[in-house]
Structure 1
Amino acid sequence: MPVAELRNTITLAVSVTDRHKSAEWYDKMLGFKLLYHADSVGWSELSTMTDGVTLGLGEQAEPSPGNSVPVFGVGDIDAARGALEAEGVRFDGETMVIDGMVKTASFYDPDGNALMLAEDLTQNG
């Protein structure tokens, strides 16, 4: 039985210099469809051809090529994080909250690869 209960969703987060331009590229080249632009937080999300898998575009002035972070959906991020931390998993800072949108927490596998948990807050309340 796994320590953290994941949902059947995953977001592949990629750093880009221009989310709007990148979203157009992913649509034209791969057929990914824009779900939304969250301009206030520098984030865009697109649907892929795979159920439960989205592509997230995080805008950065100088993105690192090859930088992709799998973001695993969870129902209760506090419980999932607590269970992983109890097993010695290292997290990067506090859980981030964007009110009414998402809670995220970055953590690392044993080789230092970055991963992230995300709780969707748009469906709550």
Structure 2
Amino acid sequence: MSLISVDKTITIALSVKDRHASADWYGSMLGFETLYHADEAGWSELQTNTPGVAIGLGEHTEPVPGNCVPVFGIADLDAARQKLEQANVRFDGATEVIEGMVKTATFYDPDGNALMLAEDLTGGV
């Protein structure tokens, strides 16, 4: 049995200079649908053609090409983080919360690859 149970969604987070332009590119080149732009958070999300898999675009002044972070949906991030920390999993700072939107925590696998957990705070909207 696993230590925690992630849900059946995954968001692949990418760093981009212009989220709106990138969303247009992914839409016209790959047929992905823009779900929303959260300008206050510097984040956009697109639905891929694979059920349960989305692309998240985080806006950065100098994005790092090839830097990709899988983001796993989780029902209770605080409980999951506590279990992972008790198993000596290393986290990158505190859990971040964007009220009414999302709670996230970045952690690392044994090889230093970044992974993220995200709890939906929208109430399922």
TM-score if structure 2 supplies the norm length? Answer: 0.98
Task: Give the aligned partner of residue 25 of structure 1.
Answer: 25
Where do residues 6-85 of structure 1 align in structure 2 (5 Å cutoff)? 6-85=6-85
Task: Give the aligned partner of residue 123 of structure 1.
Answer: 123
Runs of 4+ that moved beyond 4 A: none
Aligned length: 124
Amino acid at match of 1:35: L
Listed as ranges, the gaps of 5+ residues in structure 1 are: none
CA distance, structure 2, for counterparts of residue 74 and residue 40 of structure 1: 23
Listed as ranges, the gaps of 5+ residues in structure 2 are: none
Deviations, residues 53-98 of structure 1 (Å, cap 9, x unaligned): 1000000000001011000000000011011111110000000000
Where do residues 77-116 of structure 1 align in structure 2 (5 Å cutoff)? 77-116=77-116
Percent identity of paired positions between Structure 1 and Structure 2: 67
TM-score if structure 1 supplies the norm length? Answer: 0.98
Q: How far off is 1:123 after superposition? A: 1.4
Q: How far off is 1:7 after superposition? A: 0.4
Q: How far off is 1:4 after superposition? A: 1.1
